[in-house]
Structure 1
Amino acid sequence: MATERGKIEDFGHVSRTVGTVFRYLLLAATLFGIVALTVLLIYVANDAIQPLTADPGWHLTFLLTLVLPTLAVGAYLFRTDPASFRFGGAVVGTLAVSTMFAGGVAMLFVDIVEPITWFAYVFALCLAFVGVVGIERLDRRLPFLARFVAAGAAVLLSVLFVPGLVTSLPVYPSDGVLLTLSVGTPIALVVGRYAAVDDGRRRRLAAVGVALAAVGLGAFVGALVGVTPVPATVVLAVAIVPTGGYAVGHVRRFPERRAGLGFAAVILGGTVVGAVAVDALGFAGPQSWVDWGFLTSAHSGTAADAGLYPAIGGSILLMVTVAALSFPLGVGAAVYLEEYAPDNRLTRFIDVNISNLAGVPSVVYGLLGLGVFVTYLGQPTGTVLIGGATLALLILPIVIISAREALRSVPDSMRQASYGMGATRWQTIKNVVLPRAFPGILTGTILALGRAIGETAPLIMIGAPNVLFSLPTELSSKVSAMPLQVYAWASLFASDPFYQAAVPAGVVVLLVVLLSMNSIAIVLRNKYQSDR
């Protein structure tokens, strides 16, 4: 446009000045929100971690061993090799986030599910999978109905009878070996295949064997550092081995990014050297409320002894239940509405209602769970199953909407090409559409779970207890959660010690979990967009 103001047909008056002002207003509002949120987070983190209570020598030691080397190497790589800088940061971030989730998985095997029980069900599912594959090999000899019935019978018989037979054995391997076989094997398969890149079959098998052997060393490595075999094996399987496999595979694919490993080594090495140095020199660190005792202790009437352990375990069990209920229902509904349902008044009515349900306040879903599951079905209040089902109803519309958007992002030309090769609609969806849309579906599901893990109102409405002193051990057990525990500290135990110690510490832990889940979703989204 050559003039300051012009009149374009069908668009009315267009003003460049108004557009500029509007843009800067949006920028100012965004910056104000970011600054306000940052100040709030710093205020809460300062109360929880109290960094100024550390000795000056502690700060100086980590400044020399961690902060300055990281800034120097990071600035150099950022200017000369941004790809290596991002790779090094991704390695450190992957290790940090996976270690946190490894702690949650270890909690399950230490206090909730015995390793032999877990191994029994994994073994049963493997037998069921083998049976189903064997039945599918007979597709030309048996009709569809016979194969369907046989496959269902194989799954039911395996799940119902095999676990009992395995757990009744008089002798079985140690917990570390059981977790290595049941948890480490699938992870080693993925890590080995990624690390081996395009090598031959023998080298891939060798890489898988190396990864599995590394997981199996958990019992020995744990004994050296004073950790029991179960958490040591889980941390190796969920955090260290996958991070190492990612680093090796990425460097083999992009050899020019090896400098990123040096950046990661500077961060990790500086942390270890700094920790050893302050311990040797006797410098006291921050008097943080977020410490090992806070994460592994139960609730107490005094703020100094209060812990978040039962609430963390309850949140993990709730999220597992929510994912198990909402993911198949949400994805199934999205596939039907997007790929099978006709475009008529009924489907349009359903679309509008799903969009409206995504914006309904969470307390309404709490009332729905109370009315349906507790009052109508007569189930006990505040259990893992009822809490998970209520939160699953809360995020189900979000999962459906995100899954539909992911399915829509698949080009229609890919469907037509599949049909042109003689594939049926189901074969096209299974082999073409779903694999292409899966990263987007997974991203939306993780973001929805991030909303569910921070909800308090639905759990209050279904009668979940504010305070528990032990972890739930089954689906019918009473359950608490991290936001519910923080709410109890801020209301039922309202006092200055709780406001200044336990509440900020609980908020920091909850925010770390939320940010970690969102970071996984962001990484998946970026990778999906870069692959398109």
Structure 2
Amino acid sequence: MATGHDGPTGDWFGNSEQISRLPGKVFAATCLAATLFGIVMVAGLLVYVTKDAIRPLTANPGWFLVFFLTLVVPSTALLAYFGRRRDGEATVALTALGIPFFGLLLGSGVLMLFIDVIGIFEWLAFVAATIVAVGVILGHRRVRGRTSFLEELLVGVVALVGLGPVTYQFISTFPTLPQAWLIYLFTFGLGGAAIAGLLVARRRNDRRAGLTAFTALFVTVTAGVFIDPSTGITPPVWVILFTFAAIPTALYAEGVVRRRQGSLPVGLFFPFVVVAGMLVGAVLVDLLGFAGPQAWLDIQFLTSANSRFPEEAGIYPALIGSILMMVVVAISSFPIGVGAALYLEEYAPSSGPLSVVVKFIEINIANLAGVPSVVYGLLGLALFVNWLDFASGIVVVGGMTVGLLILPIIIISAQEAIRAVPGSLRQASYGMGATRWQTIRRVVLPEALPGILTGSILAFGRAIGETAPLLMIGAAASVFRAPNGFFDIFSAMPRQIYTWVGQPSQEFQYGVMAAGVVTLVTVMISMNAAAILIRNKYERRS
């Protein structure tokens, strides 16, 4: 029917030929410029701080020339060649280099915990109690028949908590124990090789392939314990680093080879080129006598305690304190946050008198996410120190206080991720006869987990860099030995860096402080990278 107009376009928007695309292009360019400006500013700040920590200008020019020719040129040329091939080899090369790198960082953190925190008796008791708890779960499953996941988890936790102290008391009565490296070999090495073998067998649907992978990895980790300790690689160091770096790398390489089915994935050789370039460069600069940079960030800084002399100051006790604090933060905030989000989205009533209470709770959670961190420090001081009578400045108080700080962020991000799961998936699950809990565990959580992990990554990144709550709960400015447990006095890396900034010496304010900042950022990036890898894995599954 005629309307007397030229048409819908002419009626609402005018002549389409007169529409200008300039405002949209300007808006897109402005957004891109703002994003690039933020990235450049942050990168510039990190480069400036890294320059103070490494002090590259103190190195001999020949040192740079040698490593440029042996490391930078071959690696860059090979990576450019992979990029031009456009067959995914560049991604394979970078991943094959990144997995062992982050594995070494994670293994180094585990080594630090076993050196200063977890004794060999405690570790052996935990492993024995875990094995017994698994046996209790299997026995419970056989007696009860078909059991739910929640029931099995509850049985396992009760068995582990109940048998842990008893197992420790029993093991502590032993007059002697095997050497530490032997215990690590049959816990970390054997366990890692067994998990790798099971994954290979599952991928290939071939038990013989899984047994071959298990045998090859366990024989390799066993042979490595006989390396000459004068090289600096002792048996415990070899076993733990091999478990966390070499085994994941081998699994990734096996997966790439399996997917290629006959074609050689040359990108897997990229790490060997990088390592060879580093070794050749190190040998040449030693032979030619070229001195490297006199960096503040070196092995001595990472393995030493604080000192009143800047050249002897280190961050090791604060590094261990931050690692222990983040363990408490993760345990105290992630399960509670995800559980609260599940209740609010899946179980809380949407109508009736209780819906008003639920709405009130959600509004307050949103408000708590914007409360300054120093207020949470006061809350932790009042709740954990004054009311629950914990000692001030200990690891568990710092961890739970920072956990309260990030708890609203985890709840909100988990709610958004759960809310984004299509309702049709839930209805399909109910239509198949599943209960609400089965639907949540097997449908909702797997679909929402990538989003939940994304929010948690941001929250944990904020948690490791917080200083104000630690000041309020009495965390030490500096400690000269690493904490031996969760109830010891500790200092975290942000607290230690804050102390160095207040020192009158310029070496502390610029050099030592910069080394501490680079260490903190490296730990945070490594932690986030591991969480991102886990998130991406679940994204591919979903």
Structure 1-normalised TM-score? Answer: 0.91
Q: Distance in 1 between matches of 2:89 and 2:497?
A: 40
Q: Distance in 2 between matches of 1:531 and 1:144?
A: 20
Q: Is residue 382 of structure 1 aligned with residue 388 of structure 2?
A: no
Does the Cα contact within 8 Å between 1:447 and 1:517 map onto a contact in 2? no
- Listed one character per residue, the Cα deviations across residues 312-360 of structure 1 (whole Å, up to 9, x for unaligned) are 0000110111111112211221222222222222222222222222222
Does the Cα contact within 8 Å between 2:393 and 2:489 map onto a contact in 1? yes
- Listed one character per residue, the Cα deviations across residues 293-330 of structure 1 (whole Å, up to 9, x for unaligned) are 00001000011111000000000110111111112211
Aligned match of 1:103: 108
Query: Are residues 5 and 164 of structure 1, via their aligned partners in 2, closer, same or farther at CA, if it must alter by over 3 Å?
Result: farther
Aligned match of 1:278: 285
2:356 counterpart (342, 345, 349)? 345
Aligned match of 1:472: 483
Does the Cα contact within 8 Å between 2:121 and 2:168 map onto a contact in 1? no
Query: Are residues 29 and 50 of structure 1, via their aligned partners in 2, closer, same or farther at CA, if it must alter by over 3 Å?
Result: same
Aligned match of 1:232: 238
Aligned match of 1:259: 266
Q: Is residue 494 of structure 1 aligned with residue 499 of structure 2?
A: no
- Listed one character per residue, the Cα deviations across residues 259-309 of structure 1 (whole Å, up to 9, x for unaligned) are 211223222222222223222332211111110000001000011111000
Aligned match of 1:166: 171
Aligned match of 1:425: 436
Query: Are residues 147 and 338 of structure 1, via their aligned partners in 2, closer, same or farther at CA, if it must alter by over 3 Å?
Result: closer
* Structure 1 residue 531: Cα displacement: 4.5
Does the Cα contact within 8 Å between 2:325 and 2:399 map onto a contact in 1? yes
Query: Are residues 108 and 218 of structure 1, via their aligned partners in 2, closer, same or farther at CA, if it must alter by over 3 Å?
Result: farther
Q: Is residue 209 of structure 1 aligned with residue 219 of structure 2?
A: no
- SS of 1:137's equivalent? helix
Letter in 1 for 2:467: T
Say how many residue pairs are matched.
Answer: 526
- Listed one character per residue, the Cα deviations across residues 72-98 of structure 1 (whole Å, up to 9, x for unaligned) are 111111111351101110111111112
Letter in 1 for 2:214: V
Aligned match of 1:85: 90
Letter in 2 for 1:245: L
- Listed one character per residue, the Cα deviations across residues 391-421 of structure 1 (whole Å, up to 9, x for unaligned) are 1111112222233333334443433333233
Aligned match of 1:448: 459
Further displaced range: 361-370 or 129-138: 129-138
Question: RMSD over aligned Cα, in angstroms?
Answer: 2.9
Q: Is residue 127 of structure 1 aligned with residue 132 of structure 2?
A: yes
2:342 counterpart (335, 346, 367)? 335
Query: Are residues 454 and 156 of structure 1, via their aligned partners in 2, closer, same or farther at CA, if it must alter by over 3 Å?
Result: closer
Aligned match of 1:293: 300
- Listed one character per residue, the Cα deviations across residues 444-503 of structure 1 (whole Å, up to 9, x for unaligned) are 333322211111111001010010000111222101011111100001x23211123101
Aligned match of 1:509: 519
Query: Are residues 514 and 222 of structure 1, via their aligned partners in 2, closer, same or farther at CA, if it must alter by over 3 Å?
Result: farther
Residues 62-81 of structure 1 correspond to what in structure 2 (within 5 A)?
62-81=67-86
Q: Distance in 1 between matches of 2:436 and 2:363?
A: 26
Q: Distance in 1 between matches of 2:152 and 2:52?
A: 62
1:483 counterpart (494, 503, 511)? 494
- Listed one character per residue, the Cα deviations across residues 359-389 of structure 1 (whole Å, up to 9, x for unaligned) are 2221111111011111222221110110011
Q: Distance in 2 between matches of 1:326 and 1:220?
A: 42
Aligned match of 1:52: 57
Does the Cα contact within 8 Å between 2:71 and 2:274 map onto a contact in 1? yes
Q: Distance in 2 between matches of 1:400 and 1:217?
A: 47
Q: Distance in 2 between matches of 1:458 and 1:499?
A: 22
Q: Sequence identity of aligned pairs in percent?
A: 47
Further displaced range: 391-400 or 242-251: 242-251
Aligned match of 2:4: none
Does the Cα contact within 8 Å between 1:486 and 1:506 map onto a contact in 2? yes
Q: Distance in 2 between matches of 1:49 and 1:6?
A: 65
* Structure 1 residue 254: Cα displacement: 3.1
Aligned match of 2:419: 408
Does the Cα contact within 8 Å between 1:110 and 1:230 map onto a contact in 2? no
Does the Cα contact within 8 Å between 2:96 and 2:253 map onto a contact in 1? yes
* Structure 1 residue 143: Cα displacement: 13
Letter in 2 for 1:36: M
Further displaced range: 410-419 or 386-395: 410-419
Does the Cα contact within 8 Å between 2:96 and 2:270 map onto a contact in 1? no
Aligned match of 1:114: 119
Query: Are residues 487 and 212 of structure 1, via their aligned partners in 2, closer, same or farther at CA, if it must alter by over 3 Å?
Result: same
Does the Cα contact within 8 Å between 1:83 and 1:257 map onto a contact in 2? no
Does the Cα contact within 8 Å between 1:402 and 1:444 map onto a contact in 2? yes
Further displaced range: 295-304 or 144-153: 144-153
Further displaced range: 74-83 or 149-158: 149-158
Query: Are residues 222 and 380 of structure 1, via their aligned partners in 2, closer, same or farther at CA, if it must alter by over 3 Å?
Result: farther
Aligned match of 2:379: 368
Query: Are residues 35 and 472 of structure 1, via their aligned partners in 2, closer, same or farther at CA, if it must alter by over 3 Å?
Result: same
Further displaced range: 48-57 or 450-459: 48-57
Letter in 2 for 1:201: R
Structure 2-normalised TM-score? Answer: 0.89
* Structure 1 residue 23: Cα displacement: 2.2
Letter in 2 for 1:202: R
* Structure 1 residue 221: Cα displacement: 3.3
Query: Are residues 372 and 150 of structure 1, via their aligned partners in 2, closer, same or farther at CA, if it must alter by over 3 Å?
Result: closer
Query: Are residues 152 and 241 of structure 1, via their aligned partners in 2, closer, same or farther at CA, if it must alter by over 3 Å?
Result: closer
Aligned match of 2:3: none
Q: Distance in 2 between matches of 1:476 and 1:313?
A: 13
Q: Is residue 36 of structure 1 aligned with residue 36 of structure 2?
A: no
Aligned match of 1:248: 254
Unaligned 5+ segments in structure 2 are 1-6
Q: Distance in 2 between matches of 1:15 and 1:512?
A: 47
Does the Cα contact within 8 Å between 2:453 and 2:535 map onto a contact in 1? no
Further displaced range: 373-382 or 197-206: 197-206
Query: Are residues 45 and 141 of structure 1, via their aligned partners in 2, closer, same or farther at CA, if it must alter by over 3 Å?
Result: closer
Does the Cα contact within 8 Å between 1:176 and 1:216 map onto a contact in 2? no
- Listed one character per residue, the Cα deviations across residues 215-236 of structure 1 (whole Å, up to 9, x for unaligned) are 3445323626223322222111
Query: Are residues 129 and 528 of structure 1, via their aligned partners in 2, closer, same or farther at CA, if it must alter by over 3 Å?
Result: closer
* Structure 1 residue 434: Cα displacement: 2.7
Query: Are residues 248 and 280 of structure 1, via their aligned partners in 2, closer, same or farther at CA, if it must alter by over 3 Å?
Result: farther
